[in-house]
Amino acid sequence: MKQAPDGFVRLRDVDSSILEDVRYATPHNFTGDPVPGYDEPMCVLTRPLAEALHRAQQQLVPEGYSLKVYDCYRPQQADDRFVEWAQNDDHRMKDEFYPGLAKSELYSAGYIAENSGHSRGSSVDLTLVRLPAAPQRPYVPGEPLHPCTDPEGKRFPDNSVDMGTGFDCFDDRAHTDDPRITGEARANRDVLRDAMTSVGLQGYSGEWWHFNLPDEPFPGEYFDFPVNSAAFR
């Protein structure tokens, strides 16, 4: 069993109040299957990033919000799986995650990549949930899919605030500053971005949910230990 390197932590050991909805450990992701390397639905991060999220959570809770993470550290084998998936003919999840694109375009458009900052433990995908947090309805494999670009109430019912699209939505509307996102969804994106930048994180213009730790402890390294509790024993 591969062990997590020194410098990695489980988010729950730093801040157990942050909600975790690790989608790649479940079938509710763009591949339609649990992703290799995600043995448990658990958020793992480098300690500086986990501590930054803790500081953001301390700011947000008095304002009536909690953070909810979708993806944290990502084993390299998961990115390898994404590249493999992008080249096969499995289109089960198209209607939700890439309704406006051909699957063959996802790699060239930058939605799928061979390497990711997630595999260095210093990138995180997350959103905001209003407190008290409502239960998250589980995804049932085979259920009818609805475009991630549909209005809130029509797309998959996430318990988060409205951000204008669902998570992992391969569409320009997911770009952080897409001008078609207005009103409450625009305000919610701004709240998330302001909270993240206030603790030193940087956003990514192509995905409203993605933030990076600029001064990361493992630049240029890509880890492949599995996401499970045994990696921390």
Q: Does pLDDT of 10 surpass 80?
A: yes
Confidence band of 107 (pLDDT split at 50, 70, 90): confident
What is the rounded average pLDDT of the residues 47-66?
Answer: 98
What token pair was written down for 102? 């051909």
Reported as type and span, the H/E element at residue 94 is helix 94-97
Angle formed by the axes of helices 183-198 and 47-60, to 10°? 130
The closest alpha carbon to 74, from 107, 110, 114, belongs to 114
- Sheet with 207-212, strands from edge to edge, namely 19-20, 65-71, 123-130, 207-212, 202-204
The share of the chain scoring above pLDDT 90, in percent, equals 95
Per-residue pLDDT at 108: 87
Considering 114, 143, 207, 221, which one is annotated as catalytic? 207
Judged against a pLDDT cut of 80, whether residue 161 lies above it is answered with yes
Residues ≥6 apart with Cβ < 8 Å to 35 = 24, 25, 29, 78, 81, 82
11: amino acid identity, one letter: L
Task: Give CA–CA dist 189/169, Å, rounded.
Answer: 15
Mean pLDDT of the chain: 96
> How far apart, in whole angstroms, are the C-alpha atoms of residue 185 and residue 162?
5
Structure confidence at residue 1 (pLDDT): 60
Q: What digits encode the pLDDT tens for the residues 219-231? A: 989 999 999 999 9
Mean pLDDT of 3-30: 98
> In the prediction, which pLDDT does 53 show?
98
Residue 110 vs residue 181, higher pLDDT: 181
Instruction: Write out pLDDT tens, residues 85-99.
Output: 999 999 999 999 999
> What is the residue whose two structure tokens read 């509790």?
229
Distance of CA 145 to the CA centre of its chain: 19
**Residue 13: predicted pLDDT:** 98
N-terminal to C-terminal alpha carbon distance within the chain: 10
207 part of the active site: yes
Arithmetic mean of pLDDT, 91-119: 93
